[in-house]
Structure 1
């Protein structure tokens, strides 16, 4: 009886080991690097073709990712979003530590997807994020559906740059039919 159990165990382990070795030969893990950052999910190489994690790729290039379930397709849209920061009429990219007042101007074009909201946030060097301004479809100055370009100026922001380091300003959009905001642009402010 023990001989049968041992033989069965050896057979099962041989099949499992052979399958794992075959799967490893058919597909290989693939490191994917975008703008000097390695994607966490990376990809796989199967029969000489690279397959990437779409969400990781879209996030790394700050694009909007939408899923069309009816047509079983993924749509990646990369709008142009240019942001600049101004104190009075002077642009800046660095500040002294402490409270500063400023506005963020954003120019959006090549928007090829309808959105239902957008927002601007700032994240300090310790990953604490603060909402600065934004709009949704209930606001009278929200861009019309189908509009592919618009400008946005935040209200005057009074923000305390408590720490030395890099602060990240992000412009987020929520595509129509989606529940989550997605980052479409970033700007760095250095505080000293």
Structure 2
């Protein structure tokens, strides 16, 4: 009942597999892993960047747009030309805490009024209270952190530092970017509102 031909073929194939298993092979050795060297080389060719904190609240958020903020330095010498001002020279966050004025900001949706120093953004002040406010770039290059000042024209109540998204029409309607908006007067703010 046993097919001798089938049995013979099975035994022969088994023996061939055993021989291949215990043979030394061709002597081929894998090349040394160079992935670390490649990564180091690539890292050396990419210029250093200063990214804000991880962009965990938006899809693709945080990428610098066209016309991102410039340093204000000349490329050749690294110094400012005569009469040229450094970008960021009027940054309200540079005001020392003991010299900063304090304003009352009503966060309408949160139902609370808090004191905010003129050197603190509206977004930072809200986060300081433990509120989960929307944001993405933290540089005024998107509208994820948008808010609406119910008092009137935004520029009468806040100073925008590096606002690149809101035009005069939006500002006159009271819209603001909370990530770059520093209070200059008492105001009421609705967070999560975009033009």
Q: TM-score, normalised by structure 2?
A: 0.29
User: When you count strand as a share of all residues, which structure comes out higher?
Assistant: 1
